[in-house]
């Protein structure tokens, strides 16, 4: 009973937080440009979630997200501009990315996850390089260096998504919804199985976890999340080109997840906001930005491997322990001895 | 206790295994019956843990066959064996890091539920995690904050919790590797109690590796002795204690040290 109450309270807090965030951002973002920065951060949040699933829960670092993001973006672009001979409504094209990339992600996962840890990571880097080359050179499907323009304006429940202001509440809601989904995975058998693969593969196996298939499933989920992000990006900016989907940009969302904390869902969101918004605030230091990310990642790994969310959690735990100690008041904590 | 008319839950049939030139199992055959506590003892390096690894499927045997409830599982992958009901604990406990005690124990319950990820995602469960846990906690005399980090517990308690995790998965046979090492006397008492509970109340077959002879003699109904992979004796504790081959193996080992 206590648990349902707690969940209720958390739900209300989340709702209030989301609404507060909405109004604060609407007040702060007075130009179309700043709104775009926040919207792109929300889209990137989806890929940061995928890192949270693969790296945080499964312990496998994958760069492949950007490949699937590109795939999702180009799929939506092709289906909505009648380049392939048929023109779907934008939302239908977006929804099609889910089954399409579930299948592709599953097959690619089956192949790449035959490799272990570092070798797997390298294979995903190879995948990113290959996909970039293909996106950039194969004109019939990806438009080559020119990209694909002219994606029609999206209509959602009769509302036309004219500019970034219109998109913002939908993207925010979507990011929160997917966040809840990821959080649910974390606290149910799938998340625990993944975590056991990460921490001790032998123990996972004797606890009945099919390590290989569990990781493939995680990879599939990550692929779908990334593809959805790509689809949303295409619909929002109405233009897609290959130079969005390079290896360099794939490092960006890994930095996001790491700064926010790979073990935490909300961390992915915070990280995405920081990495997107900070460069705008520090425009004059742009040349030093890469250096800044590099140094901050090193410091992060040494001093707070669980990112910002990790610090928050550690503080809460410390406060709780202090409370417990004062409650025991000099009595020996009973450990069954 | 172990009448021959009953079907063994686990049966090993002339298992052989060697790593290069080192023979760790040679023609090992024995059975574990439901509700029986069987000791697997031998000097260091006798191949006891290797034997467990072969039963749980982490290693494959070079030759010989393993039967679980009459079914040949020699080629079954490890996770499938765990799902059939072969539980396992390790010499050094293997837990999820950075996770709470509750999450760690829930992994055992997940296996016990025997439902897929999807149903788990929807919040279904076929076992009563909390009442089972309470029952075992009473035996172990533990009182925890379940949200504490697993690593805040001392080694001995973590070892006992690994047995709890395994029992939560409702195994039909549980392989317990040196549970008493690192435990104090009180904890060993609780350990024996929970193993007895598993065997007698839940009819789980227990295969126990242990170096503490007091405990083995006290708790086991029958014992297998391995020495350099060769099964040199099988029988009741009383028979084993007076077996000349066993005494030689153990005393001969002392000379080497």
Q: Dihedral angle at the C-alpha atoms of A62, A263, A222, A229, nearest 10 degrees?
A: -110
Percent share of chain B, pLDDT over 70: 93
pLDDT for the residue numbered A123: 94
| Count of beta carbons in the 10 Å neighbourhood of residue A191 | 23
Residue A309 lies in a domain: no
Three-class SS state of B202: helix
> Does the beta-carbon distance from B58 to A206 stay under 8 Å?
yes
- Give the residue from chain A lying closest to B163, CA to CA: A207
Q: What is the number of domains present in chain A?
A: 2
| Residues A164 and A228 both lie in one domain | yes
At A48 the three-state DSSP class reads helix
Of A200, A206, A335, the CB nearest to B82: A206
Query: Does residue A195 lie within any of the structural domains?
Result: yes
Which residues from chain A sit within 8 angstroms of residue B88, using beta carbons? 206
- Two structure tokens written together for B219: 């708790």
**Nearest Cα residue in chain A from B108:** A207
CA distance A173 to chain B (A): 21
Chain A residues with CB under 8 Å of B58 CB are 202, 205-206
Q: Report if residue A293 sits inside a domain.
A: no
Residue B17 binned pLDDT confidence (cut-offs 50, 70, 90): confident
Output the CA torsion B80→B81→B87→B88 (10° steps): -100
With a cut of 80, say whether residue B121 has pLDDT above it.
no
With cut-offs at 50, 70 and 90, classify the pLDDT of residue A68. very high
pLDDT at position A163 is 82
C-alpha to C-alpha distance for B184 and B187, rounded to whole angstroms: 5
Q: How many of the other CB atoms lie within 10 Å of CB of B45? A: 15
pLDDT value at residue B127: 67
Same domain, A11 and A153: no
In a domain, A295, yes or no: no
d(CA B84, CA B202): 16
Give the residue extent of every domain in chain B.
28-256
Together in a domain, A22 and A131: no
Strand-pair category, B86-88 with B173-177: parallel
From the list A63, A47, A68, A215, the residue with the least C-alpha distance to A124 is A63
pLDDT above 50 (res A336): no
The torsion angles phi and psi of A163, rounded to 5 degrees, stand at -135, -170
CATH 3.40.50.720 fits B28-256, yes or no: no
- Taking only the tens place, the pLDDT of each residue in A157-178 is 877 777 888 888 889 999 999 9
Does residue A300 lie within any of the structural domains?
Answer: no
| Interface confidence (ipTM) of the complex | 0.82
d(C-alpha B186, C-alpha B72), whole Å: 40
Residue that terminates a domain, selected from A245, A260, A281: A281
Shared domain for A19 and A87, answered yes or no, is no
Q: Mind listing the pLDDT tens digit for each residue in B35-45? A: 888 888 888 88
User: What's the pLDDT score for residue B187?
Assistant: 85
Query: Within this chain, do residues A50 and A23 fall inside the same structural domain, yes or no?
Result: no
Q: How confident is the model at residue A69 (pLDDT cuts 50, 70, 90)?
A: very high
pLDDT score of B131 more than 60: yes
Q: What is the rounded CA–CA span in Å between residue A292 and residue A283?
A: 13
Sign of the alpha-carbon torsion through A71, A77, A83, A88: positive
Give A337's contacts in chain B (Cβ within 8 Å): 184, 186-187
A138 shares its domain with A259: yes
Bridge partners of A10, per DSSP, are none
Kindly determine whether residue B107 and residue A207, on different chains, have CB atoms separated by under 8 Å.
yes
Looking at the predicted structure, is the pLDDT value of residue A331 above 50? no
DSSP A181-244: HHHHHHHSHHHHHHHHHHH-HHHHHHTT--HHHHHHHHHHHHHHHHHHHHHHHHHHHSEE-GGG
Answer yes or no: do A4 and A101 share one domain.
no
In chain B, residues 207-246 whose CB comes closer than 8 Å to chain A: none
Quick one: which of B15, B35, B8 has its CA closest to B226?
B15
- Section A115-126 average pLDDT: 91
Same domain for A93 and A54:
yes
Domain that holds residue A112: 34-281
SS3 content of chain B, % helix, strand, coil (to 5): 40, 25, 35
Among A183, A189, A199, A261, most B C-beta atoms within 10 A, so best to mutate, is A189
Compute φ and ψ for A195, nearest 5 degrees.
-65, -35
* The predicted structure's pLDDT at residue A203: 86
In this complex, how many residue pairs, one in chain A and one in chain B, have their CB atoms less than 8 Å apart?
A: 96
CB contact burial A5-42 (16+ within 10 A = b; e otherwise): eeeeeeeeeeeeeeeeeeeebeeebeeeeebbbbbbbb
User: How far B41 CA sits from the closest chain A CA (Å)?
Assistant: 22
Q: What is the pLDDT of residue A2?
A: 55
> Cβ–Cβ of A336/B141 closer than 8 Å?
yes
B92–chain A Cβ distance below 8 A for any pair: no
**Strands A148-149 vs B173-177: parallel, antiparallel or unpaired:** unpaired
pLDDT at A88 over 50: yes
Cβ under 8 Å to A: B residues 16-75: 56-58
- To the nearest whole percent, how much of chain A has pLDDT over 90? 28
How many angstroms from the chain centroid is the CA of residue A113?
A: 20
CB B58 to CB A202 under 8 A? yes
Pair (A166, A267) in one structural domain: yes
Q: How far is CA A182 from CA A46, A109, A168, B145, in A?
A: 10, 19, 21, 26
- Tell me the CATH number at A155: 1.10.3470
Name the residue with higher pLDDT: A1 or A135: A135
Q: Decide if B124 touches A, using CB distance below 8 A.
A: no
- Residues A202, A217, single domain; the answer is yes
Q: Are B57 and B77 in contact (CB under 8 A)?
A: yes
Q: Which residues of A are less than 8 Å from B126 in CB distance?
A: none
Per-residue pLDDT at A328? 55
Chain A residue numbers touching B123 (CB-CB < 8 A): 188
Minimal C-alpha gap between B186 and chain A (Å): 7
Q: Name the band, by pLDDT with cuts 50, 70 and 90, for residue A71.
A: very high
């Amino acid at each position: 009973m206590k648990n349902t109450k707690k969940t209720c309270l958390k739900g209300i807090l989340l709702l209030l937080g989301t609404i507060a965030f909405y109004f604060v951002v609407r007040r702060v973002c007075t130009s179309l440009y700043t709104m775009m920065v926040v919207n792109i951060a929300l889209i990137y949040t989806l890929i940061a979630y995928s890192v949270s699933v693969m790296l945080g829960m499964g312990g496998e670092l994958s760069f492949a997200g950007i490949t699937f993001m590109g795939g999702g973006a180009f799929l939506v672009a092709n289906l909505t501009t009648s380049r392939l001979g048929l023109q779907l409504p934008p939302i239908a094209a977006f929804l099609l990315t889910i089954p399409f990339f579930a299948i592709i992600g599953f097959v690619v996962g089956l192949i790449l996850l035959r490799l272990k840890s570092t070798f797997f990571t390298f294979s995903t880097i190879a995948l990113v390089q290959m996909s970039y080359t293909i996106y950039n050179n194969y004109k019939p499907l990806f438009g080559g260096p020119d990209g694909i323009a002219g994606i029609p304006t999206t209509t959602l429940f009769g509302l036309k998504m004219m500019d970034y202001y219109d998109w913002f509440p939908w993207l925010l809601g979507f990011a929160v919804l997917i966040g809840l989904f990821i959080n649910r995975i974390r606290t149910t058998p799938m998340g625990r199985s993944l975590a056991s693969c990460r921490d001790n593969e032998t123990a996972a196996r004797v606890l009945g976890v099919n390590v290989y298939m569990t990781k493939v499933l995680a990879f599939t989920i990550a692929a779908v999340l990334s593809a959805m992000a790509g689809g949303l990006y295409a619909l929002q900016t109405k233009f897609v080109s290959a130079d969005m989907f390079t290896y360099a940009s794939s490092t960006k969302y890994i930095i996001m997840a790491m700064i926010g904390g790979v073990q935490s869902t909300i961390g992915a969101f915070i990280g995405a906001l920081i990495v997107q918004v900070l460069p705008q605030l520090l425009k004059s230091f742009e040349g030093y930005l890469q250096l800044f990310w590099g140094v901050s990642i090193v410091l992060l790994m040494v001093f707070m491997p669980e990112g910002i969310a990790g610090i928050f959690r550690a503080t809460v735990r410390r406060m709780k322990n202090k409370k417990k100690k004062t409650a025991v008041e000099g009595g020996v904590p009973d450990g069954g001895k | 206790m172990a009448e021959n008319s009953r079907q063994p839950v686990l049966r090993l049939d002339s298992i052989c295994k060697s790593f290069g030139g080192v023979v760790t199992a040679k023609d090992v055959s024995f059975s574990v019956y439901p509700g029986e506590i069987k000791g697997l003892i031998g000097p260091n390096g006798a191949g006891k843990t290797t034997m467990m690894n072969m039963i749980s499927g982490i290693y494959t045997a070079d030759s010989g066959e393993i039967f679980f409830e009459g079914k040949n599982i020699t080629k079954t992958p490890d996770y499938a064996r765990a799902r059939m009901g072969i539980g396992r604990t390790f010499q050094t406990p293997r837990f999820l890091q950075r996770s709470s005690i509750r999450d760690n124990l829930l992994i055992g319950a997940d296996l016990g539920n025997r439902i897929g990820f999807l149903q788990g995602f929807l919040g279904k469960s076929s076992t009563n995690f909390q009442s089972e846990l309470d029952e075992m906690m009473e035996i172990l005399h533990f009182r925890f904050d379940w949200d504490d980090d697993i690593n805040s517990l001392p080694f001995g308690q973590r070892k006992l919790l690994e047995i709890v995790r395994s029992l939560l998965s409702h195994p039909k046979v549980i392989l317990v590797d040196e549970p008493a090492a690192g435990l104090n006397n009180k904890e060993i008492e609780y350990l024996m109690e929970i193993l007895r509970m598993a065997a007698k109340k839940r009819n789980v077959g227990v295969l126990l590796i242990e170096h503490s002879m007091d405990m083995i003699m006290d708790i086991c109904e029958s014992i297998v002795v391995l020495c350099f992979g060769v099964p040199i004796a099988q029988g009741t504790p009383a028979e084993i204690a007076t077996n000349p081959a066993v005494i030689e193996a153990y005393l001969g080992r002392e000379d080497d040290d």
